[in-house]
Amino acid sequence: MLSAAMTDLLNDQLNREFFSSNLYLQMSSWAEAEGLDGCATFLRNHADEEMGHMKRFYNYINEKGAMAIIGAIDAPQTKFKDIKDVFEQIYEHEQHITQKIHEIVKAAFSEGDMTTFNFLQYFVAEQHEEETLVRSILDRVKIIGLDGKGVFFIDQELARYGSGEVTVAESMAPGAE
């Protein structure tokens, strides 16, 4: 059984995951409007992942006999400067999400709610993975730059990550194309 305080914390996170999905979907539409199809695909897939996270919280809360509360989700911003701006904002957002996940982990531990503590470990690992991925993309953007063919090249790379053809880590490995 979940405590009332833990139910609230999990519901808050459920809604943050919903917002993350909407934010990335909005960014995807911005990218598509800019003709950045690879970036759009990558972000749309990422939005789907976030919706998967939302459902994990939704299912867990229900499995524990509590009720998931879908609250009002803030509208994401619609204007972005360029790809670098988009990924900087994603990185900042994911760091915020990591901090929130860690706060819930600490609360679960101090309550002695080991089932929830265990449930949250997936998200601890997932946040580490996401932060690493976004930082790698940002590093690439900084190295390649957004001048001339830079944007085109980055968009092509993102298309490859988005399709699952290659991971960022693989593409950055020595000897990779």
Residue 94 or 113: the one with the smaller Cβ distance to ligand FEO is 94
Told to check if 155 binds ligand FEO by CB under 6 A, we report: no
Alpha-carbon span 119 to 123, nearest angstrom:
8
The residue assigned the tokens 């085109």 is: 152
Distance CA 118, CA 116 (A): 5
**Is the Cβ of residue 94 or residue 155 nearer to ligand FEO in the bound state?**
94
Among 97, 108, 141, 168, binds ligand FEO (CB under 6 A): 97
CB of 122 to ligand FEO, least distance (A): 10
Q: Is 53 in the site for ligand FEO (CB under 6 A)?
A: yes
Rounded alpha-carbon distances, angstroms, from residue 145 to 86, 132, 149, 152, 164: 14, 20, 9, 11, 24
Q: Say if CB 40 and CB 29 are below 8 A apart.
A: yes
Q: Is 94 in the site for ligand FEO (CB under 6 A)?
A: yes
Q: Considering CB under 6 A, how many residues would be counted as binding ligand FEO?
A: 7
Q: What is the binding site for ligand FEO (CB under 6 A)?
A: 17, 20, 50, 53, 94, 97, 130
